[in-house]
Chain A
């Protein structure tokens, strides 16, 4: 299914969708969104690119195996939960927040890093599954 329209569109859509997925990730604390949805949208960006340009091109673009994102994301989430234990020995998963919100991003705390971890895991899992299926198809 190679068409010029999809080819051209996917080149523009990939960065836009990735940007949108990050936007969804960041707004997720108080409004609808979050790491899970964000990760899925990011996965859609790469899947669309793979449809338009072929799986091998997308893999070259990614540079590493998407399965690697799973332990990475788990590690980020795990450390965000462990941080309050290590810093001031509060209970696991206690939220720690910076006092001043950072412009554009908003309030930054361990919950954000937990969500970033979820984002990476979901992206990794979705891409691994879809890549494996389309390889064997």
Chain B
């Protein structure tokens, strides 16, 4: 049973969704099952990461069909780390949702859909088949579309239409790219593709396929110039939903870029150069976009875009230290962005608005909470020794080795603007004397919550802050992990040999 550990986090989420669908009308029972189930998920993913770390890449052939013919599920260090982070973020958001999402939404199957979304994310991280990756992306889109529209407010529908059309377009482009690859190579298994692609004579068409993949994943991971759907939609759903979206949905696009491009296309200098340029522009446009926003969640949405640039940059350089930086940043970013959106939700429940011009005086009224919140704020800027600092060092070293001074400039520029944005938020929301806000009727204020709900509400923020602190102060461990991932990505033979053990080289 233990040799199939890699599939258990996936099956657990499916099982949870099924159980939650049976309990359609019992909201309280759903809350309990979702939180406890997510905790088990964290445990299983932790065991998976430990197993992968000690025993090497794990493999499962679904239906016992051997590799290039069936669908393989592969857990290497990168995949299992991301599965663990997804489970942690899922656990935090599950607890956060049970306190903050209103019962009317919960009654329409919020939790069941939420676990379908986590299922899709974990599946996308674990699959070793490029078409299966597409299927997991579809599961992610469909469940996130339900989550973004649940409640049916006008702003939500507007955001959802933008979100859905553009992501659907991305899926179509992705599917076209898969079709071109299949026509060229005749296989869909990623490891098999990695073996066959260098032997293809028609390198021009291969480059076309690579660009189609780049556009498809680029829309999903919201890089320049394909990011405009993200700030138009992420501020509309409940904050619990935008927390899981902000933390994980764009990151699954980044993961797909790392996996597919790392295995197949990055030997081509043209593609690598292209990624570097996109990264610089993404850093620049995201940071400048965040400067002018007044809605707290829109500011954070632009920060997501900005910080995607760091990961793409590391991927574009494709040296060991740069990839380690990108992976470290990915780990840091999943936790921190989930936390930032939850913090926006906390502020919303305390004050009733998230317009930073109207907010103020939080430090005076909630000093302890403000002290907790400042840790993720410091981390997202990258003040040493907090978690955002370490990956940037790796990235700058990587750029310096390549003598890529534009990249170094972009990293420093984006970090400075992030500092400016966060200090603006801090002075506006926490220090400034706020206006008297009108009391909203039929609104669940934080102070009216029961004690249990308050714990469920603030607990996840504290938990993710602790994880961030660990990433910052235990940077040695995370750096080791990232270097091992970088090693695995640069030496594709490990991945290929794990999936296709009988291959004659």
Contact = CB atoms under 8 A, between A and B. Distances in A.
A92 B22 contact: no
A108 interface: no
Nearest to B21: A71
B21 A85 contact: no
A75 B492 CA distance: 38
Given A67-B24, A82-B11, A85-B1, A91 B61 contact: yes
A17 to B, nearest CB: 27
Given A91-B63, A92-B62, A78 B15 contact: yes
B18 A85 contact: no
Interface in B1-40: 1, 3-4, 7, 11, 14-15, 17-19, 21-22, 24
A85 B24 CA distance: 28
Interface residues on B, range: 10 to 19
Nearest to B22: A71
Contacts of B3: 89
Contacts of A90: 64
Contact of B63 (A71, A74, A93): A93
Contact of A74 (B4, B11, B21, B24): B21
A91 B60 contact: yes
Interface string B212-227: 0000000000000000
A94 interface: yes
A78 B18 contact: yes
Contacts of B17: 74
A101 to B, nearest CB: 21
B423 to A, nearest CB: 49
Contacts of A71: 18-19, 21-22
B63 A94 contact: yes
Contacts of A70: 21
Contacts of A75: 18, 22
B64 A91 contact: yes
A132 B192 CA distance: 46
Interface of B: 1, 3-4, 7, 11, 14-15, 17-19, 21-22, 24, 60-64
24 contacts: A70-B21, A71-B18, A71-B19, A71-B21, A74-B17, A75-B18, A75-B22, A78-B14, A78-B15, A78-B18, A82-B11, A89-B1, A90-B64, A91-B60, A91-B61, A91-B62, A91-B63, A92-B4, A92-B11, A92-B62, A92-B63, A93-B62, A93-B63, A95-B63
The 8 A-B residue pairs whose C-beta atoms are closest, nearest first, are A71-B21, A93-B63, A94-B64, A91-B64, A71-B22, A74-B18, A93-B62, A75-B18
Interface of A: 67, 70-71, 74-75, 78, 82, 85, 89-95
Given A71-B22, A91-B64, A94-B63, 10 more contacts: A67-B24, A71-B18, A75-B22, A89-B1, A90-B64, A91-B4, A91-B60, A91-B63, A92-B4, A92-B11
